[in-house]
Every structure is written in structure tokens, then in C-alpha cells.
Copies of this chain bind each other. A is one copy, B any other.
Amino acid sequence: MSTMIDPLRRAVHTAPDAVAARCGDVEITYAQTWERVRRLVGGLRELGVREGERVAVVGRNCHRYLELYQAVPGAGMVLVPLNQRHTASELAYALEDSGARVLFVASGIDYPDGIVEHVIDLGEGYEALLAGAPAAEFPDALPGDTMAGLFYTGGTTGAAKGVILTHRNLVANAFHFQAQFAFRPDTSWLVAAPLFHAAGSIAVLATVWHGAGHVMLPVFDAAAALELIETHRVTATLVVPTMLAALGEEQLARPREVSSLRLLSHGGSPVATETLRRARDAFPGAELMHLYGTTETAPIATIMAHEEALLDAPQARSCGQPAIGVEVRVLDDETGQTAAAGVVGEVLIRGENVMAGYWNKAEATAAAVLDGWYRTGDLGYMDERAFLYLVDRAKDMIVTGGENVYSTEVEEVLYGHPAVLEAAVFGIPDARWGEAVHAVVVPRGDVAEADLVAHCRGAIADYKIPKRIELTTDPLPKSGAGKVLKRELRAPYWTGHESVVGGA
């Protein structure tokens, strides 16, 4: 079966002179990319990295990151893409847990010392590695269940898990995507979401397979994105909802020539219908497409194609129908069977895209994957036409601006402050972020909200820090077993909102 390097193997033959990636002033062809990835693997081998060993990367979107994404797994090694918004201590957890032997790190990113054997700057250091290395050969073939990458979800605590995605998982996802969006040799894909996230890397294999081009956006900025779309005649992209909103606003305020855009897909968290309407107005030539999925499903589970035509239909709040190649069903908690249309239950996903498991977490894997079905923790229902509607999340997780935040992790940090007696963290509706991280704290003494925020800073990534910390003297509502009833705390914020969750 195909591996992560096979798309490039094809592109270097079918389209050697086509531009593989544009990144700032840099333009790299497929022939050049091929030479570069061979040297990259040669360099890694000279450092002593062998098949099965982990190579981590933390940095902004750039052509070098694209090369790592293909070459490291292609060589039989395992890529560990890390969140560049994480703190040094959060990065430390993933680096230790994965046992990475090499870390590629972009300038300006604070990373932990003394964990990884070889730390290589993603700019000049990377280029020096290539310059000094022999052009290596990739393995002729790899078993499909070979690990391709470890993708960390969550943060510093036990909640953080390394999702094992195999070559088969990621290749399957590439075919599932291609079955419902027509990639072509003249596709120009804007990498707008960060590459460590499935939303950023989702189209890499398909784009390379067609010998098509990437346009890299190092850090998201709506005006910069629109300029790239106009300049490079970008035809397709995937963004998270906050980006979608910003792109719509910017384009309506200062229109660019964006008629080249055929696909404006989004995923990562819920989107307000109003945001979709504005995106439709701003980009009238583009198909809007909602992708719902999870890191564990590599990621696509459902696809809402031509969403722009359904914004006034009952399906407007749906995240789409099961993607071709992926089975999706709703489990009726009461019967243990597939739920009837309209009945809410946990969303389950099966297909070749479902992860091999969590790294070194056999118990968590057994709890998450049952008979090949991945339990998303999302609650939803399907209508008579298999449109899926998400209504809540079974897992204690918040999706904010496309990032997953585990409530327990934030709660633990809050509990670490001496003045915190009780703490509960949950998501509340937010026009910009989809959900905002919100905390309710019962203090045991005199403490200000700002003190608690300052306490969180440095311990966890900025996006995990509660946007609001509500102080109360009432004890938190609890179940008989003493469990905090978050549902009761959340309820007043969600009145009049449909809590639609989930993200690619």
C-alpha cells in the first residue's frame, strides 16, 4: 500500500518542475523537494535515528515542515508534531512521553532543555543538516500499520495522549478527502491552519499526489491570507472557525480578487451560521465545506459538502454526512445499539482512518476503540438522511478556536494555587472562539481573578487559560457521589444556544 512518501515519489516523476511550496520568497519545486527530503533522511540517519524512532518538530508553517511531514514517516521514522503555542513544560511532557531523539524547533519558540539528544533550528540548522548530508534512499515499501506520527492531544497531565496514526490511517484519509473534493494538478492549497494540527496537514498528501502546489501562511492573519490567495491564485484551503470569521470580515471590508478560490473548507469547532453566511457573501465563487473529525480519526469523519446552499435548510446546523470510506453511527446509550434517527447518543467512527491507539496507554486505547469503532465522546444524533448533528460532548473537553482543552488539566493548575478551594472549568458559547474556556472558583481566602490568571500563565498555553474566572462563595453543586455537576454550572450560559461541538 501507499506510504507517506509515495505521493512525492509520484510528483517528482509526473511534475518535477511544478512548484511544491511557496513560503515567503522561497519557491521549491518537486524535483528540489525530492533532493531535499533525501538529504534530510540522510542527515537524520547520520545522527543515528533509526526506523521506528521519533523525530519531533515545533514551528510555524513552512516548506521545511512539509518536508518533515513526508520524509520522516517515509523513512520509517515517526514524526511528532508539537503545538507551537505550548509552554516549555507542556512541550517537555510530549518530548519525554514520545522519547523523541531529535527536535526541530523554529526560532523564538521556548523549548525545554536537556530532554532531546539533538535540537536543530528549523531554519539555518535544518539547511545545514541537509547541506552536509548524503541523499538517502527511502525504503521501497512499508507495512501499512507502520507508525507514521504521534499527534498529541491535551496538555501536560495524564489527560495528554499521543495519538498513533499509521501510514494506512493517513493515506486512507487522503483518499477519503479526494473522493469528495476534486484535487487537480492545478490545485493551489493555502496551508492556513497550523501544520501540527490535522486542520493544517489534512490536504498535504492529496496535494502532493496531484503534483499541485502549497502556499504557506506561517502565522494566521486574515489580510495576509487574502493577499496570498490573490497573488498565487489559491484554489482551496481549510481553516478553523475563528479564521473563517476573520477572512469573511476582512474580505467584506477590503475586497481582494479571490475568484480563484473553489473550496473554503472549515473544521475544528462549531461555527455560527451567521459566520457562514458572511463567508458565503465574501467568497461567492467558493464551495463551503464543513469537515468534522478528530485527531484519532486522521481526521475526517463527516463532510458537509456545498454548505453554502444549505444555510437556510434544516441541515444548516449539521456537520454533514459520513465521509466516503468512513462509517459513522450514533450509539443509543439505553439499548447499546445504533440509535434511531433523531435519538441522541455518542458518536462512533470506524474506518481505515481510525488510529492504532494511544502511545503507551493501553487502557485509554481499550476505552477509546471498541471493535474498530472509535468513541469520539461527542454526543449527537443523525437525521433520516444520515446528516449528523452534534449537541454536546461526553468527554470533559472544550474546543476553543480549533484547539482542544481538557477541563481537568486547567482545573489542576487552578487547584495548584493556594487560595483555590474548588474549581470547575467548562466551555461557554463565544462568538469568536466557538467556545471560551470559563472557570468557576470557590476561593479559600482573598484572591483576585488577575492573580489566578497570572498563576496559570507559564503553566499552560495561553489558549487554555480561562477567558473569565468567576469567583463565588457558594459551594459548587455536586452529585451524590461528590462529583461536581458541571451541567448545572454550564446551563445558564447555554440557554438559547445550541451547543454544537466537534472539530477536524
Contact = CB atoms under 8 A, between A and B. Distances in A.
Interface of A: 1-2, 6-7, 9-10, 13-16, 141, 175, 178-179, 182-183, 206, 209-210, 321-322, 324-325, 327, 351-352, 372, 385-386
A332 to B, nearest CB: 16
A327 B141 CA distance: 11
B386 A6 contact: no
A324 B177 CA distance: 13
B324 A210 contact: yes
A15 B15 CA distance: 38
A10 B179 CA distance: 14
B209 A324 contact: yes
Given A141-B372, A352-B1, A178 B14 contact: no
Contacts of A15: 385
A403 B13 CA distance: 32
Given A324-B209, A325-B2, A14 B182 contact: no
A78 to B, nearest CB: 23
Contacts of A14: 321-322, 385-386
Nearest to A171: B325
Contact of A178 (B2, B13, B178, B210): B178
Nearest to A181: B182
A322 B385 contact: no
Contacts of A372: 141
A14 B290 CA distance: 16
Nearest to A185: B305
A215 B351 CA distance: 30
A348 to B, nearest CB: 13
A264 to B, nearest CB: 17
Contacts of A175: 175, 178-179, 325
A383 to B, nearest CB: 10
Contact of A1 (B9, B210, B351): B351
A10 B94 CA distance: 38
Contacts of A10: 322, 324, 386
- With most chain B CB atoms within 10 A of its CB, the pick from A7, A178, A352 is A178
Contacts of A6: 327
14 contacts: A6-B327, A7-B324, A10-B322, A13-B321, A13-B322, A13-B385, A13-B386, A14-B385, A14-B386, A178-B179, A178-B324, A179-B179, A182-B182, A209-B324
A260 to B, nearest CB: 18
A206 B321 CA distance: 16
Contacts of A327: 6, 9
A183 B178 contact: no
A86 to B, nearest CB: 35
Contacts of A179: 175, 178-179, 183, 206, 209
Contacts of A324: 7, 10, 178, 209-210
Given A1-B352, A179-B206, A209-B325, 12 more contacts: A2-B352, A7-B324, A10-B386, A13-B321, A14-B322, A14-B385, A15-B385, A141-B372, A175-B179, A178-B178, A178-B179, A179-B209
A226 to B, nearest CB: 27
Which A-B residue pairs are the 4 nearest by beta carbons?
A182-B182, A13-B386, A175-B175, A178-B179
Nearest to A12: B386
A10 B351 CA distance: 13
A238 B454 CA distance: 66
Contacts of A351: 1-2
Contacts of A206: 179
A15 B322 CA distance: 12
Contacts of A325: 2, 175, 209
A4 to B, nearest CB: 13
A502 B325 CA distance: 30
